[in-house]
Amino acid sequence: MTNLSWLIPVLPLLGFLLIALFAKSLPKTLVGLIASGTVLGSFIIAVSIFLQNDGTAHTVKLFDWISSGKLHIPFAFLIDPLSLVMLLVVTGVGFLIHVYSVGYMSHDERFAQFMSYLNLFVFFMLLLVMGNNYIVMFTGWEGVGLCSYLLIGFWFKNTDYNNAAKKAFIMNRIGDLGFILGVLLIWVTFGSVNYSEVFSGAEGFTKGDKVITAITFLLFIGAMGKSAQIPLYTWLPDAMAGPTPVSALIHAATMVTAGVYMIARSNILYTLSPDTLNFVLFIGLGTAIFAATIGLFQNDIKKVLAYSTVSQLGFMFIALGTGAYTAGVFHLMTHAFFKALLFLGAGSVIHAMSGEQDIKNMGGLRKHLPITYIVFLLATVAISGIPPFSGFFSKDEILAHLYAHSPVLWGFALLASMLTAFYMFRLFFLTFWGGFRGTKHQLEHLHESPLVMTAPLMVLAVLSVLGGFLNVPEIFGGNLALKNFLSPVFEASELRSFDPHIGHQTEIMLMAIAVGMAGISIFLAYSRYVANNEVPSGDEKEMSWLEKLVFNKYYVDEAYDAAIVKPLNWISRKSEIFIEKQLIDGTVEGSANFTLHLGGLLRQLQTGHIGFYLIAMVLAVVAIFGYTVLF
């Protein structure tokens, strides 16, 4: 079955080609069928490979891609536990979102194009997680960036959406520069970009080696861009301009977790450089708290979810930073379930509200959207970390590792976790409880979404509830199934890192504190938004300076604008005048004019007279004889 693995990315690619080529002649139903069917096919193959996998890594080589001098890059796939987990998440969640999109986008006139982009995205994402070397990963990495750009700006007639797409692309490019430099440094250091050779080569290095630290740091810059960490996170909230299924698939479940996957994949390198790991930890923690506070005051349903995603990604990087790679991957997985569900639920709400995204104008939707209400509740509970929902297990594992690492940092992470519970329930109560605050027109059109949209919601709800049981900790009599499954991948790292163990007593205490804090947050949210019926005004005049600061997202965008964009513009304006116009244009145009002039002279030689040609040739022969005899 492993031999068939090449089909996994090829199927969505085929889907993309089919739809893109015959977009005009295919009926919408068929487009939907092809797009979802190909991803389903990939999912089925991934499942069957998963069922047969015995924990060993298989390499499936398709062909030699580039070889030049010492550089040999095969186009090959690596099938091991880590890539299998990612494959299942990408194809599984991807399939559900494809199905949902068929319903969500059915009225859009560029439906076929949308589905083809989605398929193309899945193809690149699969390349990213399946490649057996950094170059194939980079291909996928760039490809998903491209698809993200195309899909954010899908409704390209809106200038703001286009700007958001551009912003996402440019922010990602900054990160990509770090990534590609890291890959180059890997090639220079190890003479190869294949995982197997790099990782076995890395085992010869001592912990804290400077080169490894540089490599991991550069790679992490790439991860900061793709996974929206401080300071490169600002693109993700803007990326919500894309259609909601895109936000669910790309900007919550899959693409933004590419950075987490990359670090988990390169775990041995990171384990060898504790400095980078600490850096990752602080960036992750900072992002988790920072984004969570911004989430408190946002009124756009998708923006709240976007900041929540940034914050949750921070949690994943906290896990990676403490060396708990399994916990990071575990949270990646559960987050994919409940965040995809939240976005799709939000999509369902927006769909019902005829495009309204502001929660100030919602409220009381539970009566009108019962299915959406229930699944949204389940997902909200899951993300808040209430047992036995999936988010509880994965977040708890991260917190436990962090406590073992440093109790002070644990305190900060707990704060972020509390804030999460608060803003999520604030969102939930404002949307579904209380009275309806929208227009009369919207009220008349309120309706539950069709089955094609709610069915994926229900499947995801089941996963959000039960997903945590994939890795039940020992204190609950679990067997850490995911950890054992992934252990071959992280074996080398675990040998090298000290795993601080905390007693069962402490662990239970930590859980109790976390759950209790979450409960308090929920109660606070309830008392404020349900009992007191408070509705955020969104009016800046009524806010304190602190609220204002947070409401405006700490003015980070404005700060970037003032600190980077404006000076850059100033420099480029000056450069245009002095360097471009005078220095470069002078030289370039001068040499170009010279060449053109030369061309004008040389073409005179081509006279067309045979006599001249023959004499020229004879003289050339004489010259050659003369030259070879003389020298």
Question: Which residues make up the interface to other proteins (CB under 8 A)?
Answer: 63-69, 75, 592, 595-596, 598-600, 602-603, 605-606, 608, 610-622, 624-629, 631
**Helix-strand-coil split of the chain, %, nearest 5:** 75, 5, 20
CB 239 within 8 A of CB 226: no
Q: What are phi and psi of 68, to 5 degrees?
A: -155, 120
Structure token digits, residue 40: 């389903």
Report the nearest approach of other proteins to the CB of residue 59 (Å): 18
Q: Which is nearer to other proteins, 66 or 466 (CB)?
A: 66
Q: Which is nearer to other proteins, 51 or 605 (CB)?
A: 605
**d(C-alpha 137, C-alpha 85), whole Å:** 16
Length of the chain: 631
What is the CA 7 to chain-centroid distance, rounded?
A: 23
**d(C-alpha 117, C-alpha 96), whole Å:** 16
- Alpha carbon distance, N-terminus to C-terminus of the chain: 67
Report the nearest approach of other proteins to the CB of residue 610 (Å): 6
**d(C-alpha 151, C-alpha 140), whole Å:** 16
Q: Which residues pair with 79 in a beta bridge?
A: 58
For 235-302, what is the HEC assignment? Answer: HHHHHHHCCHHHHHHHHHHCHHHHHHHHHHHCHHHHHCCHHHHHHHHHHHHHHHHHHHHHHHCCCEHH
Cα distances (Å, whole numbers) of residue 140 to 28, 49, 80, 225, 555 = 28, 21, 18, 15, 33
Strand, coil or helix: 80: coil
Report the nearest approach of other proteins to the CB of residue 130 (Å): 17
Q: Which is nearer to other proteins, 51 or 621 (CB)?
A: 621
Cα distances (Å, whole numbers) of residue 603 to 444, 607, 608, 612, 615 = 78, 8, 11, 14, 18
Report the nearest approach of other proteins to the CB of residue 73 (Å): 9
Q: What are phi and psi of 364, to 5 degrees?
A: 65, 25
Report the nearest approach of other proteins to the CB of residue 160 (Å): 29
Report the nearest approach of other proteins to the CB of residue 62 (Å): 10
Q: Which is nearer to other proteins, 124 or 343 (CB)?
A: 124
**d(C-alpha 400, C-alpha 250), whole Å:** 29
Q: Which is nearer to other proteins, 67 or 537 (CB)?
A: 67
**Unique residue bearing structure tokens 């399939």:** 95
Q: Which is nearer to other proteins, 157 or 603 (CB)?
A: 603
Report the nearest approach of other proteins to the CB of residue 607 (Å): 9
Q: Which is nearer to other proteins, 367 or 609 (CB)?
A: 609
Q: Specify whether the backbone of 142 is left (phi greater than 0), alpha (psi in -120 to 50) or beta.
A: alpha
Q: Which is nearer to other proteins, 520 or 619 (CB)?
A: 619
Report the nearest approach of other proteins to the CB of residue 620 (Å): 4
Report the nearest approach of other proteins to the CB of residue 429 (Å): 53
Q: Which is nearer to other proteins, 64 or 585 (CB)?
A: 64
Report the nearest approach of other proteins to the CB of residue 190 (Å): 21
Q: Which is nearer to other proteins, 544 or 628 (CB)?
A: 628
Report the nearest approach of other proteins to the CB of residue 593 (Å): 11
Q: Specify whether the backbone of 157 is left (phi greater than 0), alpha (psi in -120 to 50) or beta.
A: alpha
Q: Which is nearer to other proteins, 498 or 631 (CB)?
A: 631
